[in-house]
Amino acid sequence: MIDRSRRALVSDTTDVKLESRLEEQETFEPPKSFVEQANVTNPAIRTEFEENWPECWERAAEFLSWDREYDSVVDAANAPQYEWFTGGRLNASYNCLDRHIEDGAKNRAAIKWEGELGETRTYTYGELLNEVEAFAAALREMGVEAGDVVTLYLPMVPELPIAMLACARLGAPHSVVFAGFSADALATRMQSSDSEYLVTCDGYYRRGEALNHGQKVKNGLRNVDHDVESIVVDRLGDESHLSFGDGTHDYGALVAEHEGTSVPAVSRDAEDVLFLLYTSGTTGQPKGVEHATGGYLSYVAWTAHAVLDLEPTDTHWCTADVGWITGHSYVVYGPLALGATTFMYEGTPDYPDRDRFWKLIEKNRVDVFYTAPTAIRAFMKWGKEYPANHDLSSLRLLGSVGEPIDPHAWKWYYKHIGGEECPVVDTWWQTETGGTMVTTVPGIDTMKPGAAGPALPGIDARVVDADGSPVASGNAGYLVIRNPWPGMLRTLYGNDERFRSEYWGEYSDPDEDEWIYFPEDGAKIDDDGYITVLGRVDDVINVSGHRLGTMEIESAIVDVAGVAEAAVVGADHDVKGEAVYAYVVLKNGEEPTVAMRDRIVESVEDGIGPIARPEKVVFTSELPKTRSDKIMRRLLENIANGEELGDTSTLRNPDAVDTIARQVGDD
Ligand code: PRX
């Protein structure tokens, strides 16, 4: 363990000197104390993977126990729907639970949880398996079979990973809907995936207040056309979970009833779907990203080992909500596949005070901490005294994910949370990639704040121009991935065509059977191969690390009576990264009143959720459009950011721009 107790002795003057030294420093070597114990320390690993591709991926598959060995590592016959570890059979729940118990980990903590009000729960691997089996038995009795999609609409409570693992045990793909999403968002996802089962809860706590999740569920279910069987977790400890009406079951009663039932883990084909996770894209409809059992689980286990450096003895805290991919991969499947302890916290970082996270790290002796730049920026704003008052010496590695982290925030994190003794991994990846793709391997790579890092071993990431030719180092271009990898999505639920066009349409050459994945991010690459991700180049914005589709927000706005047209863009925001700016044109005769603004905000909250709430609603008489009638979102972004306006000569209505800019300025 690293001794950082001396940090408290550092005087303020030394601090200022350190601060300015750090600000000038462009690269950082991994701390020696870290390297000495790291999981991956051989720099030759990249060459080894490259020379031995695709067999190198057997190394990922070796992290799992297979019921049947696979016949081939990758099958490209149906590219770009690549198949991984074909012929292999396994069960994800068995890999996350039973086999660790067989290896003697029965009494090791699998999940440690703290509620916002301070209550705690620990599930050992033995206890977790018991509850997963009991719940799987209940689901089975209800009729859930391999292949049935079970929707999980739960906040950060242990029942969420338990339900995920119970589904995995039966071979039923889960579809987790982030609890912060609205009733409409729940209904759309359940409709789209034909999901007839729902696991949810009555409420949960935010800043000390109980949120009425149950009401959202009831509203959502009204818009689902087919019958749904619901199971409700009693989170609030009152009777409200029983008020869901006929056809609903009490989670606690079901688990008690099936306690002690053994449910064999169903052996699944490596290519069988493990889960669906809906995410935002260019159109108004979220897309159901489909991940397969063998490839996904191998990839998250391997990356949790190589990048997060996880050991079975570690307590890992990934602060992401399990409702997003980061939570799936690095709260649940990655850490549990490796037999580590995963820590979950229900609430916000500033409740009851701004040191809640640091208290939790101290109390739980967290080894690896993985969070988002938006949180780091908030911590910086609140001040270094909050972490300084806690013993963070248990930390060994820090991670960042979800959006670009600027060098200033990186260095603050490195110094004030890591005490300059923990490597920081800035991990670039997406819902679609399953696990991290571009980042430093912490035991071998030099860190360059601002740049995520080189591509991981076995990943061929490049930065190209619009024609697909490499861009000169340092110039902006588009990020592309050339070879497939085990954690990649298999398709979009029920829409192979959209899968092909969305990700493989831009740069691939199907006639030559050359497939290139386009993640829709802009990037630049330095001479040393380090990649800086610049952000989305499609109509997706990133608010506090949450991926939102501008079209989805726009469609919620035009649902409001009296609204004629809307355009949504992301404006720079010092904590959230991006904030939602909505430009709205009203129908003739409508007034831009406060009430109208409120209705717009409410409609976005109802359609998507409070995370998509517009920071600013700008009423305007028209939107800037090209002659072919496309809204020029780039100009609206410039206006929102108070930037120089780019070329307006291609506009059909150049005057509109000045008017809008004035309106934003006046507001
Ligand atoms: O734009 C990139 C950004 O988040 C997008 C993916 O969002 P989502 O599918 O919700 O997954 C988020 C967590 C993996 C990417 O297309 N992004 C993610 N990580 C980074 C990032 N941008 C810059 N640096 C990162 N480390």
Q: Each residue of 262-275: pLDDT tens digit? A: 999 999 999 999 99
Looking at residue 335, what is its pLDDT? 98
Residue with the smallest CA separation from ligand 1 atom 7 is 430
Residues 6+ apart with CB under 8 A from 602: none
CA distance 545 to 423: 21
Task: Quote the ligand 1 centre to 533 CA distance (angstroms).
Answer: 9
Task: Quote the ligand 1 centre to 100 CA distance (angstroms).
Answer: 31
| Residues forming a β-bridge with 549 | 540
User: In terms of C-beta distances under 8 Å and separation of at least 24 residues, what long-range contacts does 119-127 make, across chains too?
Assistant: 121/158, 123/158, 125/97, 125/100, 125/101, 125/339, 126/101
Band (pLDDT 50/70/90 cuts) for residue 86 is very high
Residue whose entry in the numeric block shows the structure tokens 């081939």 = 72
CA distance 445 to 347: 34
Task: Quote the ligand 1 centre to 482 CA distance (angstroms).
Answer: 18
What digits encode the pLDDT tens for the residues 428-475? 999 999 999 999 999 999 999 999 999 999 999 999 999 999 999 999
Looking at residue 649, what is its pLDDT? 81
CA distance 251 to 33: 46
Give, for ligand 1, the residue of 176, 277, 542 to mutate: max count of ligand atoms closer than 8 Å to Cβ.
Answer: 542
DSSP class per residue in 536-572: ESSSEEEETTEEEEHHHHHHHHHTSTTEEEEEEEEEE
Ligand 1: list residues with CB < 6 Å: 279, 324-326, 401-404, 426-431, 452, 519, 521, 533, 535-536, 542, 547
Give, for ligand 1, the residue of 289, 319, 430, 503 to mutate: max count of ligand atoms closer than 8 Å to Cβ.
Answer: 430
What digits encode the pLDDT tens for the residues 605-654? 999 999 999 999 999 999 999 888 888 888 999 999 998 887 788 888 88
Residue with the smallest CA separation from ligand 1 atom 24 is 404
Task: Quote the ligand 1 centre to 431 CA distance (angstroms).
Answer: 8
Task: Quote the ligand 1 centre to 501 CA distance (angstroms).
Answer: 20
Give, for ligand 1, the residue of 307, 403, 539 to mutate: max count of ligand atoms closer than 8 Å to Cβ.
Answer: 403
Average pLDDT estimate for 210-226:
95
Q: How far is CA 517 from CA 153, 502, 508, 520, in A?
A: 31, 9, 8, 9
Give the strand pairing for 248-250 and 229-233: parallel
Task: Quote the ligand 1 centre to 37 CA distance (angstroms).
Answer: 29
CA distance 489 to 433: 6
Task: Quote the ligand 1 centre to 237 CA distance (angstroms).
Answer: 36
Give the strand pairing for 476-481 and 341-345: unpaired
Q: In what order do the strands lie in the sheet with 273-279?
A: 248-250, 229-233, 197-201, 150-153, 174-176, 273-279, 287-292, 491-492
What digits encode the pLDDT tens for the residues 347-400? 999 999 999 999 999 999 999 999 999 999 999 999 999 999 999 999 999 999
Residues 6+ apart with CB under 8 A from 645: 635, 638, 639, 657, 661
Quick check: helix, strand or coil at residue 369? strand
CA distance 172 to 147: 5
Looking at residue 108, what is its pLDDT? 98
Looking at residue 1, what is its pLDDT? 39
Q: Show the beta-strand stretches assigned E in 544-652.
A: 546-549, 563-573, 577-586, 616-619
Q: Which helix (H) or strand (E) holds 313?
A: none
CA distance 190 to 225: 9
Q: Is 82 exposed, middle or buried (0-12, 13-18, 19+ CB in 10 A)?
A: buried
Give, for ligand 1, the residue of 429, 517, 548 to mutate: max count of ligand atoms closer than 8 Å to Cβ.
Answer: 429
Looking at residue 15, what is its pLDDT? 62
Residue with the smallest CA separation from ligand 1 atom 21 is 403
Looking at residue 14, what is its pLDDT? 57
Task: Quote the ligand 1 centre to 450 CA distance (angstroms).
Answer: 14
Round the average pLDDT of the chain to a whole number and report it.
94
Residues 6+ apart with CB under 8 A from 351: 116, 206, 207, 208
CA distance 309 to 34: 10
CB 590 within 8 A of CB 565: no
Give the strand pairing for 577-586 and 563-573: antiparallel
Q: Is the pLDDT of residue 7 over 60?
A: no
CB 349 within 8 A of CB 436: no
Q: Is the pLDDT of residue 502 over 90?
A: yes
Give the strand pairing for 397-401 and 268-269: unpaired
Residue whose entry in the numeric block shows the structure tokens 């912060």 = 180
Q: How far is CA 303 from CA 307, 309, 410, 466, in A?
A: 5, 8, 21, 30
CA distance 512 to 495: 24
CB 485 within 8 A of CB 519: no
Looking at residue 180, what is its pLDDT? 96
Q: Which amino acid is at 146?
A: A
Q: How far is CA 61 from CA 105, 296, 456, in A?
A: 21, 10, 16
Task: Quote the ligand 1 centre to 430 CA distance (angstroms).
Answer: 5
Looking at residue 13, what is its pLDDT? 57
Lowest model confidence (mean pLDDT) among 117-121, 485-489, 639-643, 659-663: 659-663
Give CA angle at 101 (310, 65), nearest 5°. 70
Looking at residue 41, what is its pLDDT? 97
CA distance 94 to 425: 29
Instruction: Kindly calculate the radius of gyration of the chain based on its CA atoms and give it in whole angstroms.
Output: 25
Q: Is the pLDDT of residue 19 over 80?
A: no
CA distance 112 to 487: 26
**Count of residues in the chain:** 667
Residue with the smallest CA separation from ligand 1 atom 11 is 430
Task: Quote the ligand 1 centre to 275 CA distance (angstroms).
Answer: 19
pLDDT over 70 percentage in the chain: 97
Task: Quote the ligand 1 centre to 429 CA distance (angstroms).
Answer: 5
Q: Is the pLDDT of residue 243 over 80?
A: no
Residue with the smallest CA separation from ligand 1 atom 4 is 402
Using the Cα atoms of residue 561, residue 567, residue 573 and residue 579 in order, give the sign of their dihedral: positive
Dmax (CA) for the chain in angstroms is 73
Q: Measured between alpha carbons, how far apart are the two ends of the chain, in Å?
A: 53
CA distance 293 to 638: 43
The dihedrals phi and psi of 43, each to the nearest 5 degrees, come to: -60, -15
Residue with the smallest CA separation from ligand 1 atom 12 is 402
Give the strand pairing for 491-492 and 287-292: antiparallel
What digits encode the pLDDT tens for the residues 31-42? 999 999 999 999
In 3D space, the residue among 233, 339, 267 whose CA is nearest the CA of residue 68 turns out to be: 267
CB 162 within 8 A of CB 135: yes
In 10 A of CB 56, how many CB atoms? Answer: 17
pTM for the full predicted model: 0.95
In 3D space, the residue among 643, 640, 629, 646 whose CA is nearest the CA of residue 663 turns out to be: 640
CB 56 within 8 A of CB 457: yes
CA distance 458 to 406: 27
Residue with the smallest CA separation from ligand 1 atom 6 is 430
Looking at residue 474, what is its pLDDT? 92
pLDDT over 90 percentage in the chain: 88
Looking at residue 4, what is its pLDDT? 41
Q: Which amino acid is at 195?
A: S
